Amino acid sequence: MLVIVDNGWLLKSGMSIFDKKDIEIMTNDDRTKTNGVIVRESPYGMQREPTFSGILSFMRRKYSKDIDGAELVVSGIPFDLAVTYRSGARFGPQAIRLASAEIASTTPYPWGFDPFENLAVIDFGDCFLDVHNPLTIPQAIIEHARHILASGARMLTFGGDHYITYPLLKAHAEKFGEPLALIHFDAHSDTWPDDSPDSLNHGSMFYKAIKDGLIDPKHSVQIGIRTWNDDFMGMHILDAAWVHRHDTDAVVAEVERIVGNRPAYFTFDIDCLDPAFAPGTGTPVCGGLSTAQALSIIRGFSMLNLIGMDIVEVAPAYDHSQITALAAAHIACDLICLLAKRKAEK
């Protein structure tokens, strides 16, 4: 049987394309299977669609502005006006969603379960930003986060450059009412002094966040650092050299010791990875973590109380064969698996 599928043909083995007597038009019910992102009713369970087609959302999650009942809301913040070298991270959310289609319909490895069976996850789309009025952008991001957090859902956010973490931290600290622990993967400490209230700089967010009392440096850790800064603002540093000298279990143990069960915000700058594994970023630095190291560390965080997460600085214009975007998509998938596992074990 030959089935006409919107813009393509599927041909039964051994059948001639000229055998018109055995042609069937796909029904409306069948057609929805390839666009479940907009027509599916439930946020639960995998959506099995072709990896190469269909409307994109992250991991084929339901696309919706209705966040009632959602436990985790994925959204993008396509902002890169704060970069100091190569721009292009505004296309990061699109790139991560596209890469996620490749892993959306298979059981995540090595977890062995479908995280969406018991965790309601939706894709909210992207935060609207008026790039012609950049001083309005921090507040726009704060309001975006407040709206989602007010529903009781957690956030998984795709940047965009790393500046976006600063307004996201403001909204999360406001929600949880205390300085947060920070788990920060990066090549850079992002603690360069900057006391201007109006500057947008992707290298000073954590300087400002500590000054503002948004994060507690005594219970915060930076992983993969390999650029110098005169002042790390009291945060614990597990630099790239330390990670390479130790196994990933040692990294996990040290993070658990520092953070404990405090509300923790997780931020992953993709340049934490070595450029061999993540060339598609704005400020690459040699000597970083491998994708395997990063995933192994993250998979050990099941005891941590992650209250918000972001992945930033994916710039697909500099990527090769999607390897940077795929790394980001796998990191995001593992974070979702962590939340699903923690929920199931409560």
Kindly list the domain boundaries of the chain, sorted by start residue: 59-345
Non-local (6+) Cβ contacts of 51 within 8 A are 101, 102, 104, 105
Structure tokens at 126: 């992207």
Residue 169 pLDDT level (bands cut at 50, 70, 90): very high
Looking at the DSSP bridge assignments, the partners of residue 184 are 222, 267
Of 163 and 53, more confident: 163
pLDDT at 232 over 90: no
Give me the pLDDT at residue 53, please: 67
> Does residue 186 have a known ligand-binding role?
yes
What percentage of the chain carries pLDDT values higher than 90?
Answer: 74
> Does residue 188 have a known ligand-binding role?
yes
Backbone angles phi, psi at 86, to 5 degrees: -90, 130
Fold of the CATH domain 59-345 = Arginase; Chain A (3.40.800)
d(CA 45, CA 121): 9
Q: What is the mean pLDDT of residues 64-81?
A: 96
Residue 178 pLDDT level (bands cut at 50, 70, 90): confident
> Does residue 144 have a known ligand-binding role?
no
State pTM to two decimals: 0.87
Give me the pLDDT at residue 77, please: 98
Give me the pLDDT at residue 195, please: 84
Residue 230 pLDDT level (bands cut at 50, 70, 90): confident
Number of other residues whose CB lies within 10 A of the CB of residue 223: 25
Give me the pLDDT at residue 18, please: 44
> Does residue 184 have a known ligand-binding role?
no
**Contact indicator for 205, 190 with CB cutoff of 8 Å:** yes
Residue 28 pLDDT level (bands cut at 50, 70, 90): very low
Burial 30-58 (b: 16+ CB within 10 A, else e): eeeebbbbeebeebeebbebeeeebebbb
Give me the pLDDT at residue 4, please: 39
Give me the pLDDT at residue 23, please: 44
Give me the pLDDT at residue 264, please: 98
Beta-strand runs (E) in 205-329: 221-223, 236-238, 263-269, 305-312
pLDDT tens per residue, range 303-336: 999 999 999 999 999 999 999 999 999 999 999 9
> Does residue 162 have a known ligand-binding role?
yes
pLDDT tens per residue, range 261-312: 999 999 999 999 999 999 999 999 999 999 999 999 999 999 999 999 999 9
pLDDT at 75 over 70: yes
> Does residue 202 have a known ligand-binding role?
no
Residue 101 pLDDT level (bands cut at 50, 70, 90): very high
Q: What is the mean pLDDT of residues 86-94?
A: 96
Could you tell me the end-to-end alpha-carbon distance of the chain, in angstroms, rounded to an integer? Answer: 50
Q: Given the structure tokens 């214009």, which residue do they identify?
A: 317
Element (H, E) at 142: helix 137-149
Residue 36 pLDDT level (bands cut at 50, 70, 90): low
